[in-house]
Structure 1
Amino acid sequence: MIWEFALGDVSKCFGSDFNVFKNRPMQRNPNGDLQLVSRVYDLNGKRMEFEKPMTIVSEYDVPEDAWFFRENSHPTLMPYSVMMEIALQPCGFISTQSGAILNYTDIDLHYRNLDGNGNLLHCPDLRGKTIVNEVELLSTVASGDTIIQTHRFSLICDGQKFYEGDTVFGYFTHDSLANQVGLDSGKKVLPWINENPTEKSILIDLNSSESRQLLNENSEKPHFYLCDGQLSFSDVIRLVPEGGKYGNGYAYARKEVNPQDWFFPCHFHEDPVMPGSLGLEAIIQTLQAFALQKGLGDSFNNPRFSPVKSKVVWKYRGQIVPQNKYMQLDLHVKNITKKDGEIIISADANLWREDLRIYEISDIVLGISEA
């Protein structure tokens, strides 16, 4: 059933009401390496009854050797972006099941995440486990050709809730997405480094083998390095160790958008767009580069990047599609603290589609601990 929603006949998943969308682009679940739902069940609520809450339960069977474990710096570390996708993908299922899109069968609408927050309560080893997600559709509001829906999610493993939050999704026309004005009402807001060109920065070219050697694993610290492959989302990183608006450190990164990037066909079928979660992963990668260059793991015998119990808030007001030329991001380190044998780095971040600021992330956190 999930495959039909991702790549096949949507009516086989949601019923004959959706026959009208055959051979047309419509909302899809991610597929391939980004399909992070195994099954859905226990649906409560009736289609088109938007004044009443609707709930659903989904499960994801986490492979012990999933690609995101193999390509990460530590074999037990689930990337934050993957955890976000596990939490958010069933929201798309319940949105479709609600039937909101059935009031707009004469136009093609695109499904996009707008806002959200995720609170990591515990940090379990999720390899080989089944993650249960309890999702509630809280509200549906339609205005013109736009639909806005609010959801609540809770991830549970072995009977313990470990990640929870709220999020907002919307349905938009192609024209409304093409004319998005970003977070600053169309005003041009530049990265901090552009406004402070005299600040001395450290340039890291991630396409250079020399730079990669500085940031990659070695025999003494086998779990403390910058990932390559499908978890790498930058070409160039610039670091200002004492810079940024808080004076505790600053990092900038840029990636040339390649229409052949692996995630476009996965997210979504016939509607390729970079997942917002991977933009957040790019920010985490840049924060890791800052930690590596600053030597924040030097006090550990065998350091690793580790998850930190914290609440992250995101806001998206734009998208990155294959036709775009590049994306850029920056982050401002707020605090570097040591607690209970762990170094914790917190930062606020922004991401641009070319010169338009479209993502804002508050309180992204990175831990460094003994492996």
Structure 2
Amino acid sequence: MLAQTANRTPQTKNIADDAQLWEFALGDVAKCMGPDYAVYANRPVQRNPNSDLQLLSRVQSFTGTRRKFEEPMRIVGEYDVPAEAWYFRDNAHPSQLPYAVLMEIALQPCGFISAYSGALFHYPNLDLHYRNLDGNGTLLADPDLRDKTIVSEITLKSTVASGNTIIQTHDFALFADGKKFYSGDTVFGYFTDEALTNQVGLDGGKLVPAWLESVGAGDAHEQTVICWNLAESSEPCFQAPEGRPHQRLAIRQLNLLDELRIVPDGGSSGKGYVYGLRTIDPEDWFFPCHFHQDPVMPGSLGVEAILQAMQGFALQQGLAERFQNPRFGWVQKRTAWKYRGQIIRETKRMQLEAHVTDVQEHLDQTVITANASLWRDDLRIYEVTDLRLALREAAA
């Protein structure tokens, strides 16, 4: 049995070190979570991301009582940010943490506490899949995180098990140098194969097309539609102008789209619209990383793909031209997401769209705000509201 006595003081020894987290991601889960999890040997079981997407270095402490869900449980985790990480290398600016990585640093400890809590033992005979459903995050600062240790504080607030499904709610907060810079809350769930197979997306199973392709777009096809090819790294959008080294889109693993279609005065607000497309390859780099035995594209990379589309819109519209040495950055505001499906290896294409709702020029930055959706083939499965992107002057 798991321990039934509360541990109310932080331990001097980590709850999970790097080796144990490797076991949780790729090896024997019982070596990280305890001997009760031996029942999952040779069975599919919840995993945390691995390899390039493992963004949790250790779990320092746990407060609460495992399997006692009437009271909150808490963990403190840490992630050591490498200065030369692939996501800095591939981004347009070498100090800008991609928003997807920020989300993963906040959400991966939620996955750990969900497993550590013992929630799976509500249905020990079922093989359940762990999925993020909803969340929101507020950026409080946008620090340079290279070579920093990010501390995560996670509270598991509630657990409800019913009908072979488990739903859990969490609060999260991230700190660097003792200062909170990102916080929010999120909902995760455990689901059977059948439940995932029968997902109906965000529109009750109805196939709602993107604005650009819909009859409801009216005269959208009579407007100017600018097409960009993102499948080739030699395209101009990946080549920064001389003296402006960050005025380009991200490359390699952070290039998540094959094509953009931009309608300058389109979209639901008439302030701009961008559509993105990616052909899904079963061998795409992120599938083995997320997760072992249960490959799905991280929802955070879907959000990152939407931001890439917004960056393309910003560059095409010349919004970088007012700056001498422009760079992209994030905005200290709240963003919310909702997922009702996943991009899986069997998916043929990922579509997305962003409706620009506002473009504001401030003294030190230009901020683009959009609401967005993402499709698995023709089923709309993600919705992101109040997603913001900034263009500002890069430091000398």
TM value normalised by structure 2 = 0.92
CA distance in 1, matches of 2:226, 2:135: 33
- Please identify, of 51-60 and 218-227, the stretch whose mean Cα deviation from structure 2 is larger: 218-227
CA distance in 2, matches of 1:101, 1:326: 32
Residue 200 (structure 1) shift: 2.5
- Measured against aligned partners, the alpha-carbon deviations of 1:1-39 in whole angstroms (never above 9, x if no partner) come to 110100011001111111100011110010000000000
- Could you tell me which residue of structure 1 aligns to residue 22 of structure 2? 3
CA contact (8 A) 2:297 2:344 kept: yes
Pairing of 1:87-236 with structure 2 (within 5 A): 87-195=106-214, 196=217, 197-208=221-232, 212-236=235-259
CA contact (8 A) 1:215 1:289 kept: no
Residue type at the aligned position of 2:61: D
1:333 aligns with 2:352: no
Structure 1 stretches of 4+ with a deviation exceeding 4 A read none
Residue 216 (structure 1) shift: 2.4
CA contact (8 A) 2:233 2:251 kept: no
TM value normalised by structure 1 = 0.98
CA distance in 1, matches of 2:227, 2:362: 30
CA contact (8 A) 1:87 1:153 kept: yes
CA distance in 1, matches of 2:127, 2:63: 27
Aligned residue for 2:44, secondary structure, equals coil
Aligned residue pairs, count: 370
CA contact (8 A) 2:153 2:172 kept: yes
Residue type at the aligned position of 1:144: G
CA contact (8 A) 1:336 1:345 kept: yes
Aligned residue for 1:222, secondary structure, equals coil
Aligned residue for 1:134, secondary structure, equals strand
Residue 214 (structure 1) shift: 4.0
CA distance in 2, matches of 1:298, 1:204: 19
- Could you tell me which residue of structure 2 aligns to residue 295 of structure 1? 318
Task: Name structure 1 gaps, 5 residues minimum.
Answer: none
1:354 aligns with 2:395: no
Residue 187 (structure 1) shift: 1.1
- Could you tell me which residue of structure 1 aligns to residue 273 of structure 2? 250
The one of 288, 307, 312 aligned to 1:284: 307
1:366 aligns with 2:385: no
CA distance in 1, matches of 2:252, 2:103: 20
RMSD: 1.0
- Measured against aligned partners, the alpha-carbon deviations of 1:31-79 in whole angstroms (never above 9, x if no partner) come to 0000000000210111110100000000000001111111100011000
Task: Name structure 2 gaps, 5 residues minimum.
Answer: 1-19
- Could you tell me which residue of structure 1 aligns to residue 295 of structure 2? 272
Residue 208 (structure 1) shift: 4.4
CA distance in 1, matches of 2:389, 2:289: 27
Aligned residue for 2:112, secondary structure, equals helix
Aligned residue for 1:154, secondary structure, equals strand
Aligned residue for 1:274, secondary structure, equals coil
Residue 190 (structure 1) shift: 0.8
- Please identify, of 219-228 and 128-137, the stretch whose mean Cα deviation from structure 2 is larger: 219-228
CA distance in 2, matches of 1:333, 1:250: 6
CA contact (8 A) 1:216 1:227 kept: no
The one of 316, 341, 345 aligned to 2:339: 316
